[in-house]
Structure 1
Amino acid sequence: MIDYNNPAVRYYQQVSDECIHYLSIDGVIFGFHQNQLNVLLLRWKGTNEWSLPGGFIKKKESVDEAAQRVMQERTGLDKLYLQQFHVFGEATRYDQEETWRKTTIPLQHIKWSERTISLGYYALVEHSKVVPSPDFLTDECRWWPLNEIPSLLFDHNHIIDVAIQSLRKQLTDQPISHLLPETFTIPELQRLHETILGYPLDARNFYKKVMASGTLERLSERRAGTPHKAPYLYRFAGTGHDAVG
């Protein structure tokens, strides 16, 4: 018998009425903090099971609008930089019965699609500006280092793998400034590239390459509190600090 007072049951009934069946958004939110690339994950109520943020597409909104809404609700940020990177449409993406059993949500009596196609989006955000917020299906929303992500619900580990591969391939075309504070050092920028790419870079060659790109400006300020000679701070061109001529 269906418990109509269960918030999850009411949610999925509302989704069934207001949203497009068979189609959803899955979001990989990347943030860079303490020299690590992190991903925002949700822990489902009453469990130790984690998943990516996601949601369904309302009948009167575009897929991009849906992605912005889903990501904004979890981060508290407006006008996120998003990139659609893949469509996950395999006939069998995961074991639905086993997955829903792990969530402890009694959905077996709710009429819903047997198959869902997901549009994968990744977001690049400044870690310090995010206010991680769970929804009423989850107890916790927090950052996980990319190399420590646990086994996730659904096919979300695969989605993250595809997202990072896509980010690596498009790294030179992506505004990675979204992952950094307004000012940063060259070693910090190099570490961001290394974390995304998954391998070390030669410091001298990296410096030459990024300075030759014309996208950076050196500031008059230096990074205080470092054990060695304080390095200069940089910013991406056009972001509003006094640069050194």
Structure 2
Amino acid sequence: MKNFDQTVIQYFRQEAELSIHYLSIDCVVFGFHEGRMRVLLLRWKGTNEWSLPGGFIRKTESADAAAVRILRERTGLQQLFLQQFHIFGDAIRYDEEDTWRRIGFPVDRSKWSERTISLGYYALVEYAEVTPRPDLLSDACDWWSLDELPNLLFDHNHIIDVALAGLRRQLPYQPISHLLPETFTMPELQRLYETILGRTLDARNFYKKVQASGILQRTDERRTGTPYKSPYLYRFDPVAYPAVIRGGHLSFL
């Protein structure tokens, strides 16, 4: 209990009254920055232990509403693209005794169920728009690169792996525009797809197929300050892009 003050203990007691004990939300917030995919993590109070944002579903709210509430509190964003991607319901998901010893659970766990099933949601957000905010149980809320993740609490490394695999499968009909600023270069768009897919794409072929898809509008502006010829800036076509996404016709992947 030494890591938690009375405010936190009271929070747990209130959640025990308001929430469905055996059903929780775990959220994978994906962002893209400096050519790398990143996820938002929380560091538990008084420890060096990290986990995904999450929480319990209130008795009076839907699962989707719980996910929106949790992520608004952690990101500061009012508009969120969310996708439920998996239910984590193994009888034994992780070593509970070791986990709770590492973080110091502050209340009597007998008030909670012995087993929790988690609904996994991922969010696609524009990195620069997010204001990371810790909660009462954490000292920090920060971005981590996918290729530099620590050993997370609970089964959260596994949850991230499943979320990324789901995002890859759904790329032909997921609006990854949420991961980019309003305007971007073609190399930046290619790098985003490569980072999600985990493989290199041929630049010339990628350019031709993206252009043929009709999902982009080229602006008259160029990206300055690059070591090569200043590339044009593009934006997603507000009519064509949603139509192509709905049909799952991003064949250039």
Relative to the length of structure 1, the TM-score reads 0.94
Q: What does residue 14 of structure 1 align with?
A: 14
Q: Residue 195 of structure 1: CA displacement? A: 0.4
Q: What does residue 242 of structure 1 align with?
A: none
The reply to whether residue 28 of structure 1 matches residue 32 of structure 2 is: no
Pairs within 5 Å for 1:196-235: 196-235=196-235
Paired with 1:126 and 1:139, the residues of 2 have a C-alpha distance of 23
Q: What does residue 140 of structure 1 align with?
A: 140
Paired with 2:152 and 2:131, the residues of 1 have a C-alpha distance of 22
Identity %: 67
Q: What does residue 118 of structure 2 align with?
A: 118
Q: Residue 6 of structure 1: CA displacement? A: 2.6
Q: What does residue 50 of structure 1 align with?
A: 50
Q: Residue 107 of structure 1: CA displacement? A: 3.2
**Unmatched tracts of structure 1, length 5 or more:** 240-245
Q: Residue 50 of structure 1: CA displacement? A: 0.1
| More helix per residue | 2
RMSD: 1.5
Cα distance 1:94–1:108, how it changes in 2: closer, same or farther (>3 A)? farther
Question: 1:87·1:117 contact (CA, 8 Å) conserved in 2?
Answer: yes
Paired with 1:32 and 1:183, the residues of 2 have a C-alpha distance of 14
Question: 1:41·1:53 contact (CA, 8 Å) conserved in 2?
Answer: yes
Specify the SS of the correspondent of 2:221. Answer: strand
Relative to the length of structure 2, the TM-score reads 0.91
Question: 1:76·1:131 contact (CA, 8 Å) conserved in 2?
Answer: yes
Specify the SS of the correspondent of 1:136. Answer: coil
Q: Which moved more, 1:203-212 or 1:144-153?
A: 203-212
Superposed CA offset, 1:94-134 (max 9, x none): 11111111112333455211000000000000000000000
Q: Residue 15 of structure 1: CA displacement? A: 1.2
Q: What does residue 178 of structure 2 align with?
A: 178
**Unmatched tracts of structure 2, length 5 or more:** 240-253
Q: Residue 238 of structure 1: CA displacement? A: 2.2
**Letter of the 1:214 counterpart:** G
Paired with 2:79 and 2:180, the residues of 1 have a C-alpha distance of 16
Superposed CA offset, 1:150-198 (max 9, x none): 0000000000000000000001111000000000000000000000001
Q: What does residue 87 of structure 1 align with?
A: 87
Q: How many residues align?
A: 237
Cα distance 1:206–1:5, how it changes in 2: closer, same or farther (>3 A)? closer
Specify the SS of the correspondent of 2:184. Answer: coil
Question: 1:100·1:107 contact (CA, 8 Å) conserved in 2?
Answer: no
Superposed CA offset, 1:217-238 (max 9, x none): 1011100111111000000002
The reply to whether residue 67 of structure 1 matches residue 75 of structure 2 is: no
Specify the SS of the correspondent of 1:158. Answer: helix
Q: What does residue 237 of structure 1 align with?
A: 237
**Letter of the 2:18 counterpart:** E
Question: 1:8·1:105 contact (CA, 8 Å) conserved in 2?
Answer: no
**Letter of the 2:43 counterpart:** R
Q: Residue 209 of structure 1: CA displacement? A: 1.4
**Letter of the 2:130 counterpart:** V
Q: What does residue 105 of structure 2 align with?
A: 105
Question: 1:41·1:52 contact (CA, 8 Å) conserved in 2?
Answer: yes
Question: 1:185·1:234 contact (CA, 8 Å) conserved in 2?
Answer: yes
